[in-house]
Amino acid sequence: MGNLTANFSRHEIVCKCKKDCGAEEVTDGHLSMMQTTRNIYGSPLGVSSAARCKAHNKAVGGKDNSEHIATKDSPAEATDHPYENTLDLHNLVTAAHKAGFIRVGIDFKNKFVHLGSSIHHPKPRLWGY
């Protein structure tokens, strides 16, 4: 059970720098699509990264204009979700597209899916890295 939506909690969303940086939220629209993705996916869905302050984003190798970057006044528009195997990956990507995510990136090396909802970034729908 989550305290933000049925399945997601605040502690999964806040910046992991542990410095009270103010990067604590994703947009309501993103959160809603995350929950829809989870509903369609039908299995537990972990969150490996969500909101990041600029310093933490840089520390984890994020791009300067990353959708993960958040401030007190500007929520993040991205979350990363780990997957175990190819079937999970397929089901997660399919669920994310059905839920309305326009930016879905797959990190094959580290085995996670990036879900992005920014309308100010390119919209390739699906890419790998």
126 makes contact with Zn ion (CB under 5 A): no
* Piece in contact with Zn ion (CB under 5 A), picked from 54-62, 71-79, 88-96, 102-110: 54-62
15 makes contact with Zn ion (CB under 5 A): yes
* Contact partners, residue 35, CB within 8 Å, separation at least 6: 5, 6, 7, 8
* Piece in contact with Zn ion (CB under 5 A), picked from 46-54, 63-71, 92-100, 121-129: 46-54
Two tokens, residue 107: 């990190």
- Do 80 and 109 touch, CB atoms closer than 8 A? no
CA–CA dist 118, 66 (Å, integer):
10
104 makes contact with Zn ion (CB under 5 A): no
Shortest distance, CB of residue 85 to Zn ion, whole angstroms? 31
CA–CA dist 112, 88 (Å, integer):
10
21 makes contact with Zn ion (CB under 5 A): yes
Cβ proximity to Zn ion: between 69 and 102 the closer is 69
68 makes contact with Zn ion (CB under 5 A): no
Rounded to an integer, what is the distance from CA 78 to the centroid of its chain?
4
Which residues form the interface with Zn ion (CB under 5 A)? 15, 17, 21, 23, 53, 56
